[in-house]
Chains A and B, each alone.
Chain A
């Protein structure tokens, strides 16, 4: 009875994997989002492939440099409100083990799928290795920016890996691509179903700087021309030399109003159909994330009207411009891992009604990287007028402090506290009652701060986000 033995193995892998995750949480070692998958794959290395290849399961993979977590969160919300049973790695555990954990959450004790749809956020460097076992019906690619270059070497190495992953096809599969990113718009041109999303705003919201990531034609390397620049190098672009241009948009963002309560976004989902979405999340990038989610949901047969209605209830993923109250102060957490993510959060900080206390934290780690040279491409000088005082933390605190000194931040308003929790506590204490502490942080320090806040009952567990 080979089939029965196989499902027994699957069931054992699931039981031991989930047990390991529960043990990890009980011991206070975190959410168990990686250990579960590690253990389960040890018992049954083919577990993810078997779950994802089940004909009752549809897989959507969301990859790219920035915006994966938020896009996947909006998409999962839309699918749930359409009545789908969704498994989603919402805590952002997006490497091989995290995807294995996701697979075992999609099945019941007997190995039968309990989720009809899997929304898998996948690290852009790990996607290619997992594309066959994920075998996605829809692949969403957000953007390609410089990120973790000390891990992947070059932006073009990431683009190349995404290119080969995007060429993976199954019958009926679709690519949902951000057309405003020239490298992403050029992925897998021979794929039979590519859907494009982008912004269609009257005016630029950003400007091209020398530090922009991909501002040359992906085909002929000529500098691109932009009708409008929206965020970093994302915009309505064309090549003046070979004529390559942003493809026509299937879902276009035609308006974004950003306010303290969130964003109001107009989407053109068909030539004669416009929808307004309210999302309790901030920043121009939410427009991209929402449009990608609506387009991906449409590929799964979900009407955009249904998808957008659900987004009104999708709170920020942990640390993504997430706000909570702590000891009578407001804390705004802004995850930032590269110049592009700083470009998304700086306008939100600039729009704060009064100057703020600020904590900036970065540490070296496997996920945060070792090379923080990119901090010198962040326009910190823009923030100086919005500042009461900055505390800098993490094991790269000295690098941050030096960066701020060269951005002409006054030395007497920058305090170096390498320990992240100590830095957070002192910055919070220095924030006047009723005031706002803004935290801009890389992954590892932010996770420490979120766990600290959770111990005080100020916010949720990051794995519940």
Chain B
């Protein structure tokens, strides 16, 4: 059995250690004897339609958003058709924002997303930088997922989206309505969250549910062998304890003026 991972925009959306999410999927598949093939596709490069079982989109910085958004818009048709074909997409932070309809920064022109998720994001006055946790229900199972949020965008979900999870600790999508992340209301396998961490290595429950959904596309229902998950569980508990201490900052200094004439 084999797993095909597509790491989308790895050199642009790379700032939060999200390569760890790709590594978690690779290793948890390999440790179970699966063959794993990973492709990295940056903005300006084509996505092979129907190839990937799971596509990972990471978090990035606000100034990289335009590069990533332009690339993603060119790749959107291929991405959309793979989702319709049952493939999984897992997106973090900037990835979540760009899968939505639009990102309106605090200053500058709005950035069009690809409207795969029914959500909109506006740059807010506060940057949420703190440990965070949410409760997630997937495949008739429920767990607390823990990570670190670092965003100033305020996201509102439309009727075509439901939350990825319910906020337990932290701010979630907007610090107001208790929603964390997004997934489509139609039940297709797009999962988007604000939680960095990277979260998959320390939330093995979530990693395995994404793996199961990804493998189902070409291999049908797969029963994953259990893994010991000792270090994963301790890392989860350590992060959750940090989230309960609720340390973190809600400040930011303005970003550089880039792209000016010399």
For A399, the chain B residues whose CB sits under 8 A away are: 202, 235, 238-239
One of A161, A395, A396, A406 near B27 (C-beta < 8 A): A406
Q: Number of B interface residues, CB 8 Å?
A: 56
Q: In B1-20, which residues have CB < 8 Å from any A CB?
A: 7, 10-12, 14-20
A150 to B149, CA, bound (A): 9
Q: B247: CB under 8 A from chain A?
A: yes
The A interface, classified by DSSP as helix, strand, loop or mixed, is: helix
Chain A residue with the shortest CB-CB distance to B148: A371
For B42, the chain A residues whose CB sits under 8 A away are: 223
Q: B101: CB under 8 A from chain A?
A: no
Q: B77: CB under 8 A from chain A?
A: no
For B238, the chain A residues whose CB sits under 8 A away are: 395-399
Per-residue contact bits, chain A 342-382, to B (CB 8 Å; 1 contact, 0 not):
00000000000000000000001000001101111100000
Q: A250: CB under 8 A from chain B?
A: no
Please tell me if the beta carbons of A370 and B148 are within 8 angstroms of each other in the complex.
yes
Please tell me if the beta carbons of A156 and B256 are within 8 angstroms of each other in the complex.
yes
Please tell me if the beta carbons of B254 and A157 are within 8 angstroms of each other in the complex.
yes
- Distance between B208 CB and nearest chain A CB, rounded to angstroms: 15
Q: Which of B103-111, B114-122, B125-133 contacts A (4 or more CB under 8 A)?
A: B125-133
A183 to B255, CA, bound (A): 13
Please tell me if the beta carbons of A160 and B255 are within 8 angstroms of each other in the complex.
yes
Q: A386: CB under 8 A from chain B?
A: no
Chain A residue with the shortest CB-CB distance to B230: A411
The B interface, classified by DSSP as helix, strand, loop or mixed, is: mixed
Q: A151: CB under 8 A from chain B?
A: yes
Please tell me if the beta carbons of A376 and B17 are within 8 angstroms of each other in the complex.
yes
One of B201, B247, B258 near A364 (C-beta < 8 A): B247
Q: In A395-437, which residues have CB < 8 Å from any B CB?
A: 395-399, 401-406, 408, 411, 416
Chain B residue with the shortest CB-CB distance to A150: B129
Q: Which of A94-102, A169-177, A209-217 contacts B (4 or more CB under 8 A)?
A: A209-217
One of B63, B67, B131, B201 near A406 (C-beta < 8 A): B201
A397 to B235, CA, bound (A): 8
Please tell me if the beta carbons of B19 and A219 are within 8 angstroms of each other in the complex.
no
Please tell me if the beta carbons of B196 and A373 are within 8 angstroms of each other in the complex.
yes
Given contacts A160-B254, A374-B17, contact A402 B148 (CB under 8 A): no
- Distance between B194 CB and nearest chain A CB, rounded to angstroms: 13
Chain A residue with the shortest CB-CB distance to B60: A154
- Distance between A298 CB and nearest chain B CB, rounded to angstroms: 26
Please tell me if the beta carbons of A219 and B201 are within 8 angstroms of each other in the complex.
no
Please tell me if the beta carbons of A402 and B232 are within 8 angstroms of each other in the complex.
yes
Please tell me if the beta carbons of B10 and A210 are within 8 angstroms of each other in the complex.
yes
Please tell me if the beta carbons of B17 and A375 are within 8 angstroms of each other in the complex.
yes
Q: A189: CB under 8 A from chain B?
A: yes
One of A157, A377, A401 near B19 (C-beta < 8 A): A377
Please tell me if the beta carbons of A398 and B234 are within 8 angstroms of each other in the complex.
yes
For A395, the chain B residues whose CB sits under 8 A away are: 238
Q: A26: CB under 8 A from chain B?
A: no
For B253, the chain A residues whose CB sits under 8 A away are: 125, 128, 152-153, 157, 160-161
Please tell me if the beta carbons of B234 and A376 are within 8 angstroms of each other in the complex.
no
For A210, the chain B residues whose CB sits under 8 A away are: 7, 10-11, 14, 19, 40
- Distance between A338 CB and nearest chain B CB, rounded to angstroms: 11
Please tell me if the beta carbons of B231 and A156 are within 8 angstroms of each other in the complex.
no
For A206, the chain B residues whose CB sits under 8 A away are: none
For A152, the chain B residues whose CB sits under 8 A away are: 252-253
For A215, the chain B residues whose CB sits under 8 A away are: 11
- Distance between A446 CB and nearest chain B CB, rounded to angstroms: 20
A26 to B127, CA, bound (A): 41
Per-residue contact bits, chain A 211-229, to B (CB 8 Å; 1 contact, 0 not):
1100110111101000000
Per-residue contact bits, chain B 232-262, to A (CB 8 Å; 1 contact, 0 not):
1011011100100001110011111111101
Q: A326: CB under 8 A from chain B?
A: no
- Distance between A173 CB and nearest chain B CB, rounded to angstroms: 20
Q: A149: CB under 8 A from chain B?
A: yes
For B260, the chain A residues whose CB sits under 8 A away are: 219
A202 to B67, CA, bound (A): 32
- Distance between A248 CB and nearest chain B CB, rounded to angstroms: 16
A406 to B238, CA, bound (A): 17
A222 to B66, CA, bound (A): 12
For B148, the chain A residues whose CB sits under 8 A away are: 150, 370-371, 373
Please tell me if the beta carbons of B10 and A370 are within 8 angstroms of each other in the complex.
no
A163 to B62, CA, bound (A): 17
Q: B113: CB under 8 A from chain A?
A: no
Please tell me if the beta carbons of A402 and B235 are within 8 angstroms of each other in the complex.
yes
For B17, the chain A residues whose CB sits under 8 A away are: 373-377
Please tell me if the beta carbons of A403 and B15 are within 8 angstroms of each other in the complex.
no
For B163, the chain A residues whose CB sits under 8 A away are: none
Q: In B190-230, which residues have CB < 8 Å from any A CB?
A: 196-198, 201-202, 230
For B258, the chain A residues whose CB sits under 8 A away are: 156, 218-219, 221
For A377, the chain B residues whose CB sits under 8 A away are: 14, 17, 19-20
Q: A269: CB under 8 A from chain B?
A: no
Given contacts A153-B127, A398-B238, A402-B231, contact A376 B201 (CB under 8 A): yes
For B202, the chain A residues whose CB sits under 8 A away are: 399, 402
Q: B150: CB under 8 A from chain A?
A: yes
Q: B173: CB under 8 A from chain A?
A: no
For A401, the chain B residues whose CB sits under 8 A away are: 231, 234-235
Please tell me if the beta carbons of A402 and B15 are within 8 angstroms of each other in the complex.
no
Q: In A178-222, which residues have CB < 8 Å from any B CB?
A: 183, 189, 210-212, 215-216, 218-221
For B230, the chain A residues whose CB sits under 8 A away are: 411
One of B14, B63, B232, B235 near A156 (C-beta < 8 A): B63
Please tell me if the beta carbons of A406 and B254 are within 8 angstroms of each other in the complex.
no
Please tell me if the beta carbons of B237 and A398 are within 8 angstroms of each other in the complex.
yes
Please tell me if the beta carbons of B150 and A150 are within 8 angstroms of each other in the complex.
yes
Please tell me if the beta carbons of A398 and B197 are within 8 angstroms of each other in the complex.
no
One of A154, A396, A398, A408 near B231 (C-beta < 8 A): A398
Q: B97: CB under 8 A from chain A?
A: no
A375 to B249, CA, bound (A): 20
A sample of 11 inter-chain contacts (CB < 8 A) reads: A153-B152, A156-B256, A160-B256, A160-B257, A212-B11, A371-B150, A376-B18, A376-B20, A376-B198, A401-B234, A402-B201
Given A219-B259, A373-B197, output 10 extra A-B contacts at Cβ < 8 Å: A149-B15, A155-B15, A156-B63, A156-B255, A212-B11, A223-B42, A375-B17, A376-B19, A399-B235, A405-B231
Top 3 A-B pairs, shortest CB-CB distance: A376-B20, A373-B17, A160-B256
Tell me the A residues contacting B by CB distance below 8 Å: 125, 128, 146, 149-157, 159-161, 163, 183, 189, 210-212, 215-216, 218-221, 223, 244, 364, 370-371, 373-377, 395-399, 401-406, 408, 411, 416
